[in-house]
Amino acid sequence: MEGQLPQQERGSNVLQGLSVAHLSTHPQVLCAAARVCKGWREAVQQCSACNTEVVLDAAAPLPRLRSFAQWLAKHAALLSGITMQREWLYFWAYGSTTNDGTPRETPFKEEQELLLLSIHAAATLHPAADGLPAAAPATAEAPAAAALPVSEQGRSGRHSASQQQQQQSQRQCLRLRSFSSNLSQAVDVLAVLHPHSLTRVHLDLREATTDSSTLSKALKRLSSLQELCLVNVHHPWQGSALTALAHLSQLTSLELSGRCPTADTAQGQVWHQALAQLLAQPLPLQDLKLQLGCRLPALDMACLMQLTQLNSSDCYLDAESVLPQQLRRLTCESWDSPGSLAPVTRLQLTQLQQLSLRVEFTQQQPLLQLAQLPALKHLALRYGFNLMDRTHAAAVPAASATAPAWALLPQLRELEIECDNVSLTQDPTEQQMAAILAGVAAATSLTQLMLHAGTYVSGGPGAAAFVSLSSLSGLTRLRDLSIGCGPALKLAPGDALELTALTGLTRLHLWHARHELGATVATALARELKQLRSLGFLDCRLQLGSAEGMACLEAIGCVTQLTALSLRGNSGLTQQGVLQLTRLCHLQMLDVNAHGNAVTKEGVNRLLAAVRQQ
C-alpha cells in the first residue's frame, strides 16, 4: 500500500513505543495492544525495556497463577516490578496457631510455591535450556568474517552465536528493579532474584518462615539497593539480621516498623544492640523511618552525614541520643518526659526546616527553645492527655497554662489536641477550655488544627462545659480543620456557623456533633466553603431523609472540588439522596451507612463509577 512504512521501520517504531514507560507499565495496556497489533506482539518478544509492574494475589485461583507463570517464562524481560501479596483476613479471623498452640498450616501454600518456582525459573532462564533458537550473527560482523580462513570463520561464528545467545539470555531473564511481598516465603523469593538490578524492596515479615542467616544473605546480595522497607520486624532473630544492612553501600532510604522486644530481656538487648551498631556507622542513608513501638536505646547517629529526614514515629527516643546536625525534617511522635526533648534542644540543628513533635503540656519551657532554630519553617505539635501521665488531673490545668505559648511560636503550622480514651478525674471546665481555645486562636500561623474530645472521657465536674468557636474565625490561614465533640468539648447550638468565615478550608471534618450541627448548619457550611476537597459530617445525627437533609445533600453536591465525602453515622439517606451527589465529578471516596435496600454498597459503587466517567 502506498505510503505504508517498510516492515523493518514499522517494527523499529513499535519497539520504541514499547520502551516508553507510560505504554508498558500496566499489563492491561500491553495485553490490549497485543490483541489488535501483530507488530506489538512481535516487539514484545524482542524488547529489553523493563517497565511493566505486576501485582499478584496469592489467593487467586491456581489456573490464573499458572497462566501467569507461563506468560512470565516468555516475557520476563518486560517486568520492572512484582508485588506478591495476600490479605491478612485469614489470620485475623483464625489466628496463626490452632487452639492447642501448634502453628496453623500456611494458607495458599500451593499457590505460593507455584509463584516461587515460576519466579526462580524466570530469574535463571537460559536459552539453551529452554529451547530458544540461537540468534543469527549480526550483519555488521559478516564482512569481517568472510575475510577469515574457514576454520577461523567457524570459530568466529560460534563465538558470535555464543555472544548473541548470552545477550538474548540476559534480555529474557527476570531483572526486577522493585520487589514487594507479605508472603511467608518472601525472603526465599528475594534470594533468587537478580541482586544487581533491584533498587527497591518492601518486605512484610509478619509470617516469614526463614531464619536470620537466610534473611541476612538475601539482603547482603543487593549491591544496588537504594530503598528498603521491613515491616513487622518484631521477632528477635530479625533484629540480628540488621547487621547485614551495613553492606548496602547504595542504601539511601530505610524503614523499620513493628514491635521490637523491650531492652529488659536478653532478646531485646540483642535487637537494640544491633540497631545501635547499625546506625552508628557512616551509612549513605538520606531518609530513615523507625516505627518500632518501644523505647529506643541511646542512638549515636552523628556518622549519618547524608541523613536529612528522620521519623521516629511510635518510638521513645532516648534523651542521650545524638542526631545528625544536617537534619531538615524530624518527626518524633512519642515523648514521656520533659528530658526527652533534649536531642532536639541540645544540638544546634541549624538546617532543620520541618519538625513534628508529640509532647506533653508540661513541656512548655523546652518547647519555647524550638523558636530559636534558625531554619525552622514548619512546626507541628501533637498533645494528648494519655501520654503515660499518671496524674491526669494535672494535665488539664497544664494545658490551659501552656496555651499562651503557642502564639510565641511563629513557625507553628499544625496543632493537635486530643483527650481520647482517657479516664480523667477532672474534665476540663468551661474556663479551661476557653483558655485553650484562646491560645489556639492566637496562633494565627496555623494551617492545620485538630481538636478531639473523645467519647470515652469520664464525666467529671466540667463534663457539661460549652465552648465557642467564634475565636477560630480569625485563623484565615487554616486549610485543614477537624473537631471531635465529646464530654470535654461541646459546642453551643448553631456555633458551627462561625466556621463559614474560614473560606480557605480544603478539609473539614466534624465528629459527634449530635446536637450542635443540624442539617441547616451543615447546609450553610457546604454553601460557603466552596474550596473543600474533603468533607466529613460523622456521627452527627443528621436526618438526611428529611427536607432539610435533602437540601443539605444538594448543597454538598455543588461543592464540585470534593474528592472525599464521609456521611457515616447519619440516618435517613436514600438512593434519591445519593443521586444529589452525581455532580461531584472529582469524587474518589464516599463513606456512608448502607441502609438495607435504601442505599447499598453496589449503589454507592455505581455512583462512583458514573462520577469517574464524567
Domain end point (choices 467, 492, 517): 492
Say which residues have a Cβ less than 8 Å from residue 456's Cβ, sequence separation at least 6.
Answer: 420, 421, 422, 423
Range of lowest pLDDT (12-26, 465-479, 559-573): 12-26
C-alpha cell at 273: 544492640
pLDDT tens for each residue of 143-154:
333 334 445 555
C-alpha cell at 409: 511560636
Q: What is the CATH number of the domain that holds 332?
A: 3.80.10
349 shares its domain with 478: yes
466 shares its domain with 563: no
- For 471, other C-beta atoms within 10 Å of its C-beta total 16
Residue 108, phi-psi category: left (phi > 0), alpha (psi -120 to 50), beta (remainder): left
546 shares its domain with 470: no
Distance (Å, whole) CA 273 – CA 260: 12
Residue 337's pLDDT band (cuts 50, 70, 90)? low
DSSP string, 571-596: B---HHHHGGGTT-TT--EEE---BT
Torsion of CA 452, 455, 460, 462, to 10 degrees: 40
Highest mean pLDDT among 56-70, 126-140, 234-248: 56-70
515 shares its domain with 473: no
Q: What is the CATH number of the domain that holds 596?
A: 3.80.10.10
Would you state the pLDDT for residue 455?
47
Number of domains comprising the chain: 2
Q: Answer yes or no: is 18 within a domain.
A: no
The strand pairing partners of 565, in sequence order, are 535, 590
**Average of pLDDT values for 43-66?**
73
Would you state the pLDDT for residue 486?
72
469 shares its domain with 550: no
Mean pLDDT of the chain, nearest integer: 76
346 shares its domain with 461: yes
Domain with 602, as residue range(s), is 499-614
- Asked if 279 contacts 296 with a C-beta cutoff of 8 angstroms, the reply is no
Q: What is the CA radius of gyration of the chain?
A: 30
480 shares its domain with 564: no
Distance (Å, whole) CA 225 – CA 202: 11
366 shares its domain with 453: yes
DSSP string, 335-393: --SGGGGHHHHSS--TT--EEEEEE-TT-HHHHHGGGG-TT--EEEEEEETTSS-S-HH
**Average of pLDDT values for 473-501?**
85
- For 601, other C-beta atoms within 10 Å of its C-beta total 9
More reliable by pLDDT, 216 or 489: 216
- Asked if 209 contacts 184 with a C-beta cutoff of 8 angstroms, the reply is yes
Angle at the Cα of 192 from the Cα atoms of 188 and 197, rounded to 5 degrees: 125
* DSSP run (H or E) holding 426: none
Domain end point (choices 443, 477, 492): 492
The answer, yes or no, to whether residue 5 has pLDDT greater than 50, is no
The strand pairing partners of 382, in sequence order, are 358, 416
- For 6, other C-beta atoms within 10 Å of its C-beta total 8
581 shares its domain with 521: yes
Domain end point (choices 492, 520, 547): 492
Distance (Å, whole) CA 592 – CA 523: 17
DSSP-derived 3-state class of residue 261: coil
Distance (Å, whole) CA 350 – CA 375: 6
The answer, yes or no, to whether residue 157 has pLDDT greater than 70, is no
Distance (Å, whole) CA 92 – CA 158: 59
DSSP-derived 3-state class of residue 416: strand
CB neighbour burial string for 184-199, b if at least 16 within 10 angstroms, e if fewer = bbbbbbbbbbbbebbb
Q: Answer yes or no: is 234 within a domain.
A: no
Range of lowest pLDDT (26-30, 369-373, 464-468): 26-30
- Asked if 564 contacts 534 with a C-beta cutoff of 8 angstroms, the reply is yes
- Asked if 193 contacts 219 with a C-beta cutoff of 8 angstroms, the reply is no
412 shares its domain with 455: yes
Would you state the pLDDT for residue 526?
95
The answer, yes or no, to whether residue 288 has pLDDT greater than 80, is yes
pLDDT tens for each residue of 542-583:
999 899 999 999 999 999 999 999 999 888 888 888 888 888
C-alpha cell at 345: 534542644
- For 281, other C-beta atoms within 10 Å of its C-beta total 13
344 shares its domain with 465: yes
**Average of pLDDT values for 232-254?**
82
534 Cα distance to chain centroid: 19
pLDDT tens for each residue of 388-426:
444 455 666 777 888 899 999 999 999 998 875 444 445
573 shares its domain with 525: yes
